[in-house]
């Protein structure tokens, strides 16, 4: 039987073991390993929740020390004006932060120290010692500021004194930590340790007078005690018959306490310094078991450190020594009672000395805010000394017997009866005493007054103005281009500086410097360029010189220019300076946009389809003429592009740049809009603008076309941007076009094989340019021509091109020579010639010496029919919108003798020059006409004499 039972038990045990090995701990739901290892279980929980243990540890570490990272209450001051002049009213505004109170509930204790009250002389002392306590200190500074605050220009020093009666009721009872903390009976005041981040409690917080930093009178009255009698009214210079002399909405005593007084206004004198201490409740609550928050103060410069002499850690470790106590003719043994010294017993020739040292210290790792476990170590040193004469006993002298006693703490205050008196707790047996805060300093609230002097602020230190001049710099154009060639067509760079906080902009002294480098941010920019290096530079230093301009015509330019400006501003008590600089990338190129006249033409193979467009000179197979070039009068071979290109309405303009193969990603814009040559409206696959669109890529090329559709007086801004294929540099070019009303002028044309000197404008005089070079001034309407040479004249158009080759059908010029209208059809009848291949010039045969040609010219300016079709088809210009203008001019050409083939310049003529210079011929003329007239009259006389008389009354 027993064997069966054993076998059964063994079998059950085996089965259990087998299954326990087979079953996974997880499947079992009964994790034996985890139970055995709690840490592992914890790790598993973290893993299941996705918690990264190392991050959690970091978080906890941060939380552990977060208490020390908080911001204590602070205040900042701003002065308005920032830089006052003596006699000027200054308003100082205090902006407190990290208080739980609103501004209206905070106490602002202002104080002001004038220059003469900082170490005053004997004479000044009487004026500065406002509380007559024999010294000039922070108390007087507070009184000075408070009187300014609460007086509000009340005439307090009248005769008789207004303080003989007192009818108002303007007392105020202050509350610790702000007016909204009223009712909290146990205030706790703290000071923040900037280094450790801890806050330490101050003593004397609950006192009505000493628990604040309010200004106080010299007569025993306490500010904020609820009573504000006549003596206080008189001391503070308030109105005894007005509850609120300052008009702030608070009573006089509240105003003295500084309740809600965040703005302090005073009349500035040189050297004045101002400060404020703001009392309120920190955002940090206390650890006390009540509703209290930490009452703290913020200072102007937020500077106030714990007095090291007064401790900062509650005096821990604290050491108390009792003794040495000497007992003669005694011996002592070990003490067995904690805190109780051994009792010496009588023994002749022995002296016992007992010293008890008690050290209280914080148990490491147990402090939480103001609470910690305190450990006390009591050491009793008992010294027994043989004072007899036995030499053997003297050898063992003295006998030191040091005993450190320990004891066991009660487990709770309840067990100890609520007090730890007599108990000495050690190590983990220690318990905390919430009524015995650790972070205590021996500083009191009044000790904070020692911080106030170091928190004085002068207006130049205030937040309203910075010590530096706030200078900014701008430049234009945005992408300037340098012209290294002799044309000197580089952009004019213009820089403008502006100072945001200058006292007087006109009196800022500017200094400009320009540096050059191939790097945008080199270690050194080197020496500044001199004014002579800068082409056309304006003044570079002086009062009010807030702009700098110069032309980018460097022959060997660097890639970057740095322009730096320094401005100096004279303010009260000194000077302040500001700097600004800007780095300008320079692109150097002698590329420019070339302008040509475009024209439309019909292909002979397809006259019905819209016309094609190409350069007008290409159509007429004449040398291509670039437009808008200014010819140097001193050297006509030098031609520079005009800054503004004159064009006329309805013209077609072609634009092109050279070296097209060097560039890619070309973009043309007209007035900011992308310019493209539109495809044929009838077939979008064809583009009839020659060379405008890349046939392969369909992209813009180095040539484009655009019509002039705006009215005279308007302007077009054309830009080109492209990328250099080799260097990757960006090319930005611009050209300005202005639409003008075209005009015409008749001018002599150089003869083939001859010279222009056969016909010149009448010499009027000389004019000289600024360099003193003389230029002849010739008439545009009166000319002289040599007899013996043909006269060739042609029209020259302004505001549009003068076509060199004119198709006969398009010839619209009308000449009038000496009253005869000359056209393309009848010029041969008069012996004249018209050259259609040379500007349509008319060639006149010479007359005799002294004879005159009177010539006038007129034509109608209008674009060609083909151009009109283009404008209509591509830009929807209707036929009644095309521009037409009649142009006319007339001249007079006087024939002069050939002489030595050099025209003699006529002398300067006066108003009646024609008559005076031609008197001989005119007199002859008069003679002739008088004779003719006389002959006529004589003939009429004869006729009337011959004819029969008729009776006049018949009429």
Site of tokens 């009259």: 937
Q: Compute the distance between CA of residue 108 and CA of residue 557 in angstroms, rounded to an integer.
A: 63
Site of tokens 């504000």: 228
Q: Closest distance between another protein and the C-beta of residue 644, in Å?
A: 19
DSSP letters of 175-202? -TTSGGGTT--S--EEEE-TTT--EEEE
User: Which two tokens mark 574?
Assistant: 């000194």
Q: Within its chain, how far is the Cα of 759 from the centroid? A: 64
Residue (602 or 798) nearer to another protein, CB: 798
Q: Compute the distance between CA of residue 382 and CA of residue 354 in angstroms, rounded to an integer.
A: 4
Residue (629 or 741) nearer to another protein, CB: 741
Q: Closest distance between another protein and the C-beta of residue 943, in Å?
A: 7
Q: Closest distance between another protein and the C-beta of residue 926, in Å?
A: 7
Q: Closest distance between another protein and the C-beta of residue 85, in Å?
A: 55
- Is omega for the bond preceding 296 within 30 degrees of 0, making it cis? no
Q: Closest distance between another protein and the C-beta of residue 726, in Å?
A: 50
Residue (92 or 895) nearer to another protein, CB: 895
Q: Compute the distance between CA of residue 118 and CA of residue 122 in angstroms, rounded to an integer.
A: 12
Residue (179 or 646) nearer to another protein, CB: 646
Q: Compute the distance between CA of residue 887 and CA of residue 263 in angstroms, rounded to an integer.
A: 77
Residue (639 or 738) nearer to another protein, CB: 738
Q: Closest distance between another protein and the C-beta of residue 932, in Å?
A: 7
User: Which two tokens mark 198?
Assistant: 């801890």
Site of tokens 């000394």: 385
Q: Please give the backbone phi and psi of residue 36, each rounded to the nearest 5 degrees, phi first.
A: -70, -25
Q: Closest distance between another protein and the C-beta of residue 676, in Å?
A: 34
Query: Contact at 8 Å (CB) between 171 and 226?
Result: yes
Q: Closest distance between another protein and the C-beta of residue 856, in Å?
A: 10
Q: Closest distance between another protein and the C-beta of residue 915, in Å?
A: 6
Output the CA torsion 798→803→804→806 (10° steps).
-140
Angle subtended at Cα 804 by Cα 800 and Cα 807, rounded to the nearest 5 degrees = 105
Q: Closest distance between another protein and the C-beta of residue 944, in Å?
A: 6
Other beta carbons within 10 angstroms of residue 293's beta carbon come to: 22
Q: Compute the distance between CA of residue 705 and CA of residue 867 in angstroms, rounded to an integer.
A: 12
Which residues is 319 bridged to in the sheet? 359
Q: Closest distance between another protein and the C-beta of residue 884, in Å?
A: 7
Q: Within its chain, how far is the Cα of 718 from the centroid? A: 31
Q: Compute the distance between CA of residue 456 and CA of residue 79 in angstroms, rounded to an integer.
A: 13
Burial class (CB in 10 A: 0-12, 13-18, 19+), 732: middle
Closest CA to 480 of 557, 372, 537: 557
**Interface positions with another protein (CB under 8 A):** 741, 743, 781, 819, 821, 850-852, 858, 884-890, 914-915, 918, 921-922, 925-926, 929, 932-933, 936-937, 940-941, 943-944, 947-948, 950, 954-955
Q: Compute the distance between CA of residue 240 and CA of residue 158 in angstroms, rounded to an integer.
A: 13
Q: Compute the distance between CA of residue 886 and CA of residue 673 in angstroms, rounded to an integer.
A: 33
Q: Closest distance between another protein and the C-beta of residue 643, in Å?
A: 22
Other beta carbons within 10 angstroms of residue 835's beta carbon come to: 16
Q: Compute the distance between CA of residue 626 and CA of residue 657 in angstroms, rounded to an integer.
A: 12
Q: Closest distance between another protein and the C-beta of residue 942, in Å?
A: 10
Residue (271 or 918) nearer to another protein, CB: 918
Residue (48 or 829) nearer to another protein, CB: 829
Q: Compute the distance between CA of residue 561 and CA of residue 426 in angstroms, rounded to an integer.
A: 76
Q: Closest distance between another protein and the C-beta of residue 741, in Å?
A: 8
Q: Compute the distance between CA of residue 954 and CA of residue 944 in angstroms, rounded to an integer.
A: 17
Q: Closest distance between another protein and the C-beta of residue 914, in Å?
A: 5
Could you give the count of Cα atoms lying within 13 Å of 303 in the half-sphere of its Cβ?
10
Residue (828 or 886) nearer to another protein, CB: 886
Residue (29 or 819) nearer to another protein, CB: 819
The strand order across the sheet containing 814-817 reads 759-768, 774-786, 885-896, 852-861, 814-817, 820-822
How far apart, in Å, are the Cα atoms of 147 and each of 183, 234, 264? 29, 10, 11
How far apart, in Å, are the Cα atoms of 221 and each of 208, 444, 610? 11, 21, 106
């Amino acid at each position: 039987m027993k064997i069966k039972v054993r076998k059964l038990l063994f079998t059950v045990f085996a089965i259990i073991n087998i299954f326990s090995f087979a079953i996974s701990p997880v499947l079992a739901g009964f994790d034996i390993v985890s139970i055995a290892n709690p840490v592992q279980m914890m790790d598993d929980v973290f893993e299941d929740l996705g918690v990264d243990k190392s991050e959690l540890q970091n978080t906890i570490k941060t939380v552990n020390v977060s208490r020390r990272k908080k911001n204590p209450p602070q205040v900042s001051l701003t002065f308005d004006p920032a830089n006052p002049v003596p006699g000027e009213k200054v308003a100082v505004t205090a902006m407190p932060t990290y208080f739980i109170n609103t501004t209206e509930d905070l106490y602002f204790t202002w104080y002001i120290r004038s220059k003469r009250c900082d170490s005053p002389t004997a004479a000044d002392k009487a004026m500065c010692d406002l509380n007559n306590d024999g010294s000039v200190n922070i108390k007087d500074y507070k009184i000075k500021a408070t009187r300014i605050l609460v007086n509000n220009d009340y005439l307090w020093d009248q005769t008789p004194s207004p303080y003989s009666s007192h009818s108002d009721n303007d007392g105020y009872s202050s509350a610790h930590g702000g007016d909204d903390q009223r009712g909290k009976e146990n205030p706790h005041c703290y000071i923040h340790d900037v280094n450790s981040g801890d806050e330490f409690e101050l003593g004397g917080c609950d006192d009505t007078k000493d628990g604040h930093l309010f200004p106080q009178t010299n007569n025993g009255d306490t500010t904020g005690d609820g009573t504000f009698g006549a003596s206080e009214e008189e001391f503070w210079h308030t109105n005894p018959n007005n509850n609120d002399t300052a008009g702030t909405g608070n009573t006089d005593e509240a105003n003295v306490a500084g309740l809600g007084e965040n703005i302090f206004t005073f009349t500035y004198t040189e050297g004045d310094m101002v400060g404020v201490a703001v009392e309120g409740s920190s955002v940090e609550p206390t650890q006390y078991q009540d509703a209290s928050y930490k009452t703290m103060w913020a200072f102007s410069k937020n500077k106030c450190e714990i007095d090291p002499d007064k401790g900062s850690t509650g005096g821990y470790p604290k050491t108390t020594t009792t003794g040495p106590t000497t007992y003669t003719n005694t011996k002592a043994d070990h003490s067995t009672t904690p805190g109780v010294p051994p009792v010496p017993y009588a023994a002749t020739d022995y002296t016992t000395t007992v010293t008890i040292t008690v050290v209280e210290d914080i148990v490491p790792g147990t402090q939480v805010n103001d609470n910690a476990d305190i450990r006390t170590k009591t050491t009793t040193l008992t010294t027994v000394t043989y004072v007899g004469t036995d030499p053997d006993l003297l050898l063992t002298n003295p006998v030191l017997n040091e005993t450190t006693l320990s004891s066991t703490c009660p487990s709770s205050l309840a067990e100890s009866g609520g007090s730890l008196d007599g108990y000495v707790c050690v190590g983990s047996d220690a318990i905390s005493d919430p009524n015995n805060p650790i972070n205590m300093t021996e500083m009191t609230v009044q000790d904070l007054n020692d911080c106030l002097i170091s928190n004085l602020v002068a207006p130049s230190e205030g937040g309203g103005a910075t010590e530096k001049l706030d200078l900014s710099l701008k430049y234009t154009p945005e992408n300037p281009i340098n012209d290294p060639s002799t044309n000197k067509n580089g952009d004019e760079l213009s820089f403008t500086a502006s100072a945001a906080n200058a006292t007087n902009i006109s009196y800022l002294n500017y200094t400009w410097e320009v540096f050059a480098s191939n790097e945008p941010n080199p270690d050194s920019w080197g020496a500044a360029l001199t004014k002579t290096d800068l082409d056309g530079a304006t003044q570079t230093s002086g009062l009010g010189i807030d702009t700098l301009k110069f032309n980018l015509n460097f022959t060997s330019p660097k890639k970057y220019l740095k322009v730096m400006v320094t401005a100096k501003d004279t303010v009260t008590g000194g000077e302040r300076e500001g700097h600004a600089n800007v780095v300008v990338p320079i692109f150097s190129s002698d590329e420019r946009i070339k302008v040509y006249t475009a024209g439309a033409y019909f292909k002979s193979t397809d006259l019905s389809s819209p016309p094609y467009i190409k350069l007008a000179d290409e159509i007429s197979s004449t040398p291509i003429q670039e437009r808008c070039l200014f010819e140097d009068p001193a050297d006509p071979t030098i031609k520079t592009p005009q800054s503004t290109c004159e064009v006329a309405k309805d013209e077609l303009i072609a634009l092109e740049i050279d070296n097209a193969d060097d560039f890619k990603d070309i973009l043309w814009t007209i007035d900011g809009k992308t310019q493209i040559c539109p495809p044929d409206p009838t077939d979008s696959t064809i583009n009839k603008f020659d060379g405008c669109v890349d046939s392969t890529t369909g992209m813009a090329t180095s040539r484009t076309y655009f019509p002039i559709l705006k009215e005279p007086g308007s302007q077009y801004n054309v830009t080109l941007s492209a990328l250099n294929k080799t260097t990757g540099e960006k090319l930005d070019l611009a050209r300005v076009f202005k639409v003008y009303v075209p005009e015409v002028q008749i001018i002599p044309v150089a003869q083939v094989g001859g010279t222009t000197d056969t016909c010149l404008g009448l010499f009027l005089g000389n004019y000289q340019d600024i360099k003193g070079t003389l230029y002849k001034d010739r008439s545009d309407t009166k000319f002289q021509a040599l007899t013996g040479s043909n006269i060739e004249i042609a029209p020259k158009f302004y505001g549009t091109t003068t076509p060199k080759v004119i198709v006969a059908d398009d010839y619209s010029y009308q000449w009038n020579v000496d009253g005869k209208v000359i056209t393309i059809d009848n010029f041969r009848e008069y012996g004249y010639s018209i050259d259609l291949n040379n500007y349509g010039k008319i060639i006149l045969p010479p007359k005799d010496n002294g004879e005159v040609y009177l010539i006038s010219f007129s034509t109608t300016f209008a674009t060609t029919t083909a151009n009109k079709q283009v404008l209509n088809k591509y830009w929807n210009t209707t036929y009644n919108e095309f521009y037409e203008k009649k142009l006319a001019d007339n001249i007079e050409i006087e024939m002069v003798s050939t002489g030595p083939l050099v025209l003699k310049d006529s002398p300067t003529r006066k108003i009646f020059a024609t008559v005076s210079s031609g008197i001989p011929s005119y007199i002859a003329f008069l003679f002739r006409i008088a004779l003719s007239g006389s002959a006529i009259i004589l003939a009429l006389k004869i006729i009337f004499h011959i004819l029969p008389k008729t009776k006049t009354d018949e009429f």
